[in-house]
Amino acid sequence: MDNKVYLSRDEIPKQWYNLVADLKRPLRQPLGPDGKPISPDQLAPVFPMNIIEQEVSQERWIDIPEEILEILYRWRPTPLRRAVYLEKHLKTPARIYYKDESVSPAGSHKPNTAVAQAWYNKQFGIKRLTTETGAGQWGSALAFACHLVGLECKVFMVRVSYEQKPFRKTLMRVWGGNCVSSPSNETEAGRKILKEMPDTPGSLGIAISEAIEQAVSDPSGETRYSLGSVLNHVMLHQTIIGLEAKKQLKKFKESQPDVVIGCAGGGSNFAGLSFPFVCDKIHGKSMEIIGTEPTACPSLTRGAYRYDHGDIAGMTPLLAMYTLGHKFIPEPIHAGGLRYHGMSPLVSHAVCEGLIKARAYDQLRCFDAALTWARTEGFVCAPETSHAIAAAIDEAIKAREEGKKKVILFNYSGHGLLDLLGYEKYLNGELTKYELPQKKLDESLDQIMHFPEIE
């Protein structure tokens, strides 16, 4: 049996899947400052109307424009691989499959939505995009996409990553993007934080505030903002992952997975792989679907499910989501892409409905899983991805103990070849286990207790 399945160019999915269409209970709408649902017009200074239409769409299937597919063909369809060496090492009867999103030019799943967003903005007549980035994967993905469709790209990069991961900054410059450390002196929001907390490691919440501010304050009206995760249209663009994986599992002669796993920062790679399977679960199939996150930033496992802002300055609408509070600043762990205080409203909804479960892992456990992976399968995974691998290993061991031939599928969201500093520190024994103290969490959640509650 081969340990990898590719799809041909014409087998690529031609439509994205929108989970909203299959939800039993409707998704809770974003609220404006007045506590009332916002109208699409209110988002128009931030996003182009064609993206806003996708954000609020109720359609189950949305056509992928041919010009977007043309770009995606550079690396898609991505391979589905079977982790036979890890299986052997674990002596598990489980079959472990992983969807390899690390083969994209930027090295993660993020170009899937970056290309789509850049293309829709270009169609709408926009000239320049601003965005935030944590570890730099999103910034580099957007710089790449903007270059291909002919847009300028400005990236606010969380300070701790800007310093820890200088090569992603280089990658952005290679693709013509302009990257600054956040908090920066270029925006009101940034200057305010720098004054209050000069030594802050930065956070995605701060960088989002800066990027939105710069987009909406451009007097030419030709700048918009782009978000790499969290929002419905981002989850939508990523479903190409799960739709391809379904076709590939069939070629492996598997009828369905028993367990589907992804790491969740804002939720997009997890949603991208899992939502087509969540659809099957809604329609009666039995399956475990697990999102994993760091114990340092445990929005799904310890956060509150309520309305909250997506950014520190409170510029975004209130989103119904699992959140640690929009002022929460996580410890500078190496899985930068998972250091976000909130969670996609769609993923949050599915968790609340019992369709998805969540689990948290600390960074030592994750790097341990990453080394096991590298020493069996050979590939060096992103620190974010190691949270999915840790869960896949746990599930494979459980299958061994129960003597069950389970089918485990997880998303290999990216490679770690630009994250070697984290590996170096782990190998030197310099990393510590970190559980978010209850007191810090309570203090952060206290600040959002006046926001509307979710019934």
Ligand X SMILES: *Cc1c(COP(=O)(O)O)cnc(C)c1O
Q: Residue 434: left (phi > 0), alpha (psi -120 to 50), or beta?
A: beta
Contact yes or no for 128/152 (Cβ under 8 A): yes
Q: Three-class SS of residue 358?
A: strand
- Measure the N-to-C terminal CA separation of the chain; round to a whole number of Å: 50
Q: Which stretch binds ligand X (CB under 6 A): 50-58, 261-269, 306-314, 434-442?
A: 261-269
Q: Which stretch binds ligand X (CB under 6 A): 18-26, 119-127, 216-224, 262-270?
A: 262-270
Q: Which stretch binds ligand X (CB under 6 A): 79-87, 162-170, 259-267, 365-373?
A: 259-267
Residues in CB range of 35: below 8 A, 6 or more apart: 318, 452
| One of 266, 294, 310, 314 touching ligand X (CB under 6 A) | 266
Q: In terms of CB distance, is 122 or 165 closer to ligand X?
A: 165
User: Closest approach of Cβ 14 to ligand X, in Å?
Assistant: 23
d(CA 263, CA 245): 17
101 to 130: interface string for ligand X, x by CB under 6 A: -------x-x--------------------
Q: Which stretch binds ligand X (CB under 6 A): 12-20, 82-90, 201-209, 380-388?
A: 380-388
C-alpha distances (whole Å) from 364 to each of 136, 145, 189, 285, 323 are 22, 34, 34, 35, 24
| One of 231, 333, 382, 409 touching ligand X (CB under 6 A) | 382
Q: Which of residues 28-67 bind ligand X (CB under 6 A)?
A: none
d(CA 281, CA 264): 19
133 binds ligand X (CB under 6 A): no
Q: In terms of CB distance, is 130 or 268 closer to ligand X?
A: 268
Encode 1-36: b = buried (16+ Cβ within 10 Å), e = exposed.
Answer: eeeebebeeeebbeebbbbbeebeeebbebbeeeee
User: Closest approach of Cβ 74 to ligand X, in Å?
Assistant: 18
413 binds ligand X (CB under 6 A): yes
Q: In terms of CB distance, is 382 or 399 closer to ligand X?
A: 382
| One of 231, 338, 358, 418 touching ligand X (CB under 6 A) | 338
Residues near ligand X (CB under 6 A), total: 20
Query: Which residue spans within 89-151 are E strands per DSSP?
Result: 95-100, 128-133
Nearest to 186 by CA among 154, 164, 163: 154
Q: In terms of CB distance, is 227 or 431 closer to ligand X?
A: 227
| One of 78, 130, 131, 137 touching ligand X (CB under 6 A) | 137
User: Closest approach of Cβ 119 to ligand X, in Å?
Assistant: 19
Q: Three-class SS of residue 254?
A: coil
CA 349, chain centre distance (Å): 16
Nearest to 226 by CA among 337, 68, 120: 120
Residue closest to ligand X when measured from CB atoms: 414
Query: Before 65, cis peptide (omega within 30)?
Result: no
Give me the torsion for CA of 134, 385, 296, 143, rounded to 10°: 0
Encode 364-376: b = buried (16+ Cβ within 10 Å), e = exposed.
Answer: ebbbbbbbbbbeb
Q: Which stretch binds ligand X (CB under 6 A): 52-60, 263-271, 282-290, 399-407?
A: 263-271
Q: In terms of CB distance, is 18 or 385 closer to ligand X?
A: 385
Q: Which stretch binds ligand X (CB under 6 A): 15-23, 38-46, 241-249, 257-265?
A: 257-265
Among the residues of 183-310, which ranges form H helices?
Answer: 188-196, 204-216, 232-238, 240-251, 268-282, 299-302
| One of 83, 179, 264, 390 touching ligand X (CB under 6 A) | 264
414 binds ligand X (CB under 6 A): yes
Nearest to 237 by CA among 104, 69, 103, 79: 69
| One of 161, 184, 385, 444 touching ligand X (CB under 6 A) | 385
323 binds ligand X (CB under 6 A): no
| One of 139, 265, 298, 345 touching ligand X (CB under 6 A) | 265
337 binds ligand X (CB under 6 A): yes
CA 178, chain centre distance (Å): 22
Give me the torsion for CA of 78, 79, 80, 83, rounded to 10°: -130
Q: In terms of CB distance, is 183 or 266 closer to ligand X?
A: 266
Q: Which residue has the tokens 């987009």?
A: 215
Q: Which stretch binds ligand X (CB under 6 A): 187-195, 268-276, 356-364, 423-431?
A: 268-276
Q: Which of residues 217-236 bind ligand X (CB under 6 A)?
A: 229
| One of 132, 362, 384, 395 touching ligand X (CB under 6 A) | 384
User: Closest approach of Cβ 370 to ligand X, in Å?
Assistant: 12
| One of 77, 242, 267, 310 touching ligand X (CB under 6 A) | 267
Residues in CB range of 26: below 8 A, 6 or more apart: none
Q: Which residues bind ligand X (CB under 6 A)?
A: 108, 110, 137-138, 229, 263-270, 337-338, 382, 384-385, 413-414
